[in-house]
Copies of this chain bind each other. A is one copy, B any other.
């Protein structure tokens, strides 16, 4: 069996991605890792209320909608936070 090639990426966090929709209220965080030298894929990792971490599919429309939902949602409940 050939050795692992030199440019085998060893730093992608997600081996597989979950395409099923995750109910927003079970989500505690969403972390985005842009593609880079460490990994050729943008990776999206959700932190669930039960402490589990789930890799999401950055291509699926619902992931984009979910992220934009959280960012847009903020518009209605504007609270005064100091701006640097």
Contact between chains at A63 and B58 (CB < 8 Å): no
Residues of A in contact with B, size category:
35 or more
Max count, chain B CB within 10 A of own CB: residue among A16, A19, A24, A70: A70
Majority secondary structure, A binding face: mixed
On whether the beta carbons of B18 and A84 are closer than 8 Å, the reply is: yes
Q: How far is the CA of A64 from the CA of B74 in the complex (A)?
A: 12
Beyond A32-B29, A33-B28, A59-B74, is A41–B84 a contact (Cβ under 8 Å)?
no
A19 / chain B contacts, CB cutoff of 8 Å: 83-84
Q: Which of B27, B35, B68, B79 contacts A74 (CB 8 A)?
A: B35
The 3 closest A-B pairs by CB, nearest first: A16-B82, A42-B74, A30-B32
